[in-house]
Amino acid sequence: MTANLSSLYNASSLYEQLINQVMQIESQPRLKLSAAKSDETIYKAVLSDFDSRVSALHSRLEGMADPFRSPFAAMTATAGDGFSAEASDEAAAGEHRVRVLRLAAADTRLSRQYASAATDLSSSLGASARTLTVGIAQPDGSVVDLDVSYAPPEGATNADVLAGISAAINSAVEAAEDDGTLEEGTGARSTLIRESGTHARLSLRSDATGYGNKLAISGDPDLLAALEIGNESVRAGTGGGAVYDVGTDAASSALSASFELDGLTIYRDSNTVSDALDGVTFTLKAPGEESRLTVAPDASSMRKEIDAFVKDYNSLITFLNQKSAVDPDSGNRGAFAGDAGVNALRFGLRTDATGTMEGALSGLAALGIETKRDGTLTIADESALTDALASSPAAVAAVFDGEDGIVSRMSTRLDSLLGSDGVIASRQKATEQRIDRIGDQIERWDSRLAARESSLRDQFNMLQEVLAQVESQQSSLAYYSTGGYY
């Protein structure tokens, strides 16, 4: 009897196993809820992926039909020697003859040469302040006159005087730029040039190129006479004046760019010219011989647009195929397996892609783009697509952005899926609600199971106490039954 009671009393590990087995059995509903929550969480992630792929294709379609972007109206320009060119969708296809005659230059003036260490410049100007006015042209056609005052220190060297005038000019320009009087990049800059170890000049250079941006220098007659930077004729020897012949107009000025376009001579202030040929921007690089400019549809750009569409379309179709599949061996089902709405979408997109329309090109098949068995698209005939892009870009565009084109059909279908009131958002909301409900149920089960386990352990503790009392009584009986001896 003693051995049996002792064994029962010491069977706590067995009782612990019993509690665990009971809890495992009674936890089954909770485990099913946890599995259901996991499934819903996975489904939520699938919906998020679904939304991303639908949005990507929808954005691609919108971009293909965007009149401001006009991807199928893209033009390209092939330039010859001496210049480069870029064409916008406003450019007309054709060939032109171009010859660069002269590049634009910034009006640059140099003072007369002075011995750096001598003081004759400060001596002739005296200690009183002298004013130099620098007129700087602005993009709107106005001229901003900056008054620059400078008083040579007594006994200052010629180099110091020239450097002081240069610093005063730069300070005036910077102040005018800071307060908005001058537009950024339209001012002028001055510096001291040490022509040799013993001689120096002041240099003044316009930020902008062209005759229209020539400098207008006036002011104190003595200062102008001493510096000679107001001279617009090309300097000679040690004298001051212009580095480039300023001339009297754009045609005669060495400051303006000059080039021939189809036999016409064109003058501009900048080497970047965007107003000579509609939709074409020239960048003049070097004078040279006449060469050809070819403007044509940008087949490469259009091909990239089509490739991107095929990629986004296939991404969505492949995703839907994978999530709708059922593994015949394992029986595993995709998140959309048996989903009538998703199946209708797959079928609808395939119909949109294979549908025909009126026009020179009847659809994607006419471009060499075919539908494979799984519903994805493939460019099966490269030459057909290349030829269509080269010879009929407008017809290619109509296949996509025409009245009954790919964009119209697919966008309408995808519109119902997107947005806060769309099918995907509705499914996401419903899924989140299910996840929340299951989470609440799991919390209630956790509380119930915790209470149940606590109850079982309380019963075990009570049993231990009873067994301890029984064992104590048994020991007493054994003591007396042996006459007080064990």
Nearest CA to 104 out of 236, 185, 208 is that of 208
Tokens at 335, concatenated:
């998140």
Q: How far apart are the first and last CA of the chain?
A: 16
pTM of the model: 0.68
- Sequence-distant (6+) residues with CB within 8 A of 418 are 51, 54, 55, 58, 424, 425
The Cα–Cα gap between 299 and 394 comes to 11
Could you read off the pLDDT of 153-168 as tens digits, one per residue? 989 999 999 999 999 9
C-alpha 281 chain-centroid distance: 24
Q: What is the mean pLDDT of residues 27-38?
A: 91
Q: What are phi and psi of 244, to 5 degrees?
A: -115, 145
The Cα–Cα gap between 148 and 168 comes to 6
The Cα–Cα gap between 408 and 65 comes to 9
**Can you name the residues that pair with 193 across neighbouring β-strands?**
201
Can you give the pLDDT at residue 9? 47
Q: What is the mean pLDDT of residues 291-318?
A: 94
259 in Cβ contact with 270 (< 8 Å):
no
**Can you name the residues that pair with 382 across neighbouring β-strands?**
none
- Sequence-distant (6+) residues with CB within 8 A of 439 are 37
184 — pLDDT class (breaks 50, 70, 90): confident
Does the structure show a pLDDT above 80 at 447?
yes
Can you give the pLDDT at residue 68? 81
The Cα–Cα gap between 166 and 232 comes to 19
Does the structure show a pLDDT above 50 at 1?
no
Could you read off the pLDDT of 326-355 as tens digits, one per residue? 999 898 999 999 999 999 999 999 999 998
Burial 333-358 (b: 16+ CB within 10 A, else e): ebbbeebeebeebbeebbebbeeebe
287 in Cβ contact with 101 (< 8 Å):
yes
Q: What is the mean pLDDT of residues 280-291?
A: 96
Question: Which residue ranges form the domains of the chain, and what is each CATH number?
Answer: 1-74+298-486 (1.20.1330), 75-103+256-297 (no CATH), 106-242 (no CATH)
Tell the burial category of 218 from Cβ atoms under 10 Å away from its Cβ (0-12, 13-18, 19+).
middle
107 in Cβ contact with 242 (< 8 Å):
yes
The Cα–Cα gap between 258 and 255 comes to 9
Neighbours of 326 (CB within 10 A): 11
> Whose structure tokens read 């394992």?
330
472 — pLDDT class (breaks 50, 70, 90): confident
Nearest CA to 170 out of 128, 211, 124, 136 is that of 136
2 — pLDDT class (breaks 50, 70, 90): very low
